[in-house]
Structure 1
Amino acid sequence: MVLEQALLHVRPGQERAFEDAMREARPLIAASPGFLGIEVRPAVERSGVYLLLVQWESIADHRDGFRQSERYEEWRRLLHGFYEPMPDVIYFGDAL
């Protein structure tokens, strides 16, 4: 299992619209082969910051599967306009 992590910095004042868009986008990623689960958590002490955690069977399921799919194009359309700056994605292996 691989854990994808990204910090999402949402433009000020767009938090509610982002959360609505994320709810709409979730089924797009959930339908992807190799998808195991997703969590999106708002920061407690920093407005507009969200932690994205997605569990995949492999990096390839995310990078070569989901990101090359039509579902990802819709995901991008729904979500990427909220980010400033665009998030960096980091993959993590099994827990110690």
Structure 2
Amino acid sequence: MIIEQALLQVKAGQSDQFVAAMRKAKSLISVQSGFQSIEVRPSVDSLDLYLLLVKWDNVESHRDGFRQSPEYKEWRALLHDFYDPMPSVTYFGETIFS
């Protein structure tokens, strides 16, 4: 299992619309092969900043599966106009604690 992480900086004043769009977009990602779960958490310190955490079976499920799917085109159309700047994605492996 891996975790995809991204910090999503939403354009000022667009958080309500972003949250509504993210709720719609959840159904696009949750049907993907290798998808496990998604969390989107608002920052307590910075307005319009969100933490995206998606659990996948492996990196390929995200990069070669979801990102190449027709659903990703819809995801991008729903969400990408909200970001400034565009977020970068980082992948994390298994926990070092048990």
TM range (shorter): over 0.9
Secondary structure of 1:7's match?
strand
Secondary structure of 2:23's match?
helix
* CA-CA distance at 1:41 after TM superposition: 0.1
Instruction: Report how many residues are paired.
Output: 96
TM-score, normalization: structure 1? 1.00
Look up the match of 1:77: 77
Look up the match of 1:50: 50
Q: Distance in 2 between matches of 1:71 and 1:2?
A: 21
Letter in 1 for 2:79: L
Look up the match of 2:7: 7
Moved over 3 A (4+): none
Q: Distance in 1 between matches of 2:32 and 2:40?
A: 17
Letter in 2 for 1:2: I
1:39-81 Cα shifts (integer Å, max 9, x gaps) = 0000001000000000000000000000000000000000000
Structure 2 portions without partners, runs of 5+: none
Look up the match of 2:94: 94
* CA-CA distance at 1:30 after TM superposition: 0.1
Letter in 2 for 1:66: F
Letter in 1 for 2:37: G
* CA-CA distance at 1:13 after TM superposition: 0.3
TM-score, normalization: structure 2? 0.97
Letter in 2 for 1:90: T
1:3-25 Cα shifts (integer Å, max 9, x gaps) = 00000000000000000000000
RMSD across aligned C-alpha pairs, in angstroms? 0.3
Secondary structure of 1:5's match?
strand
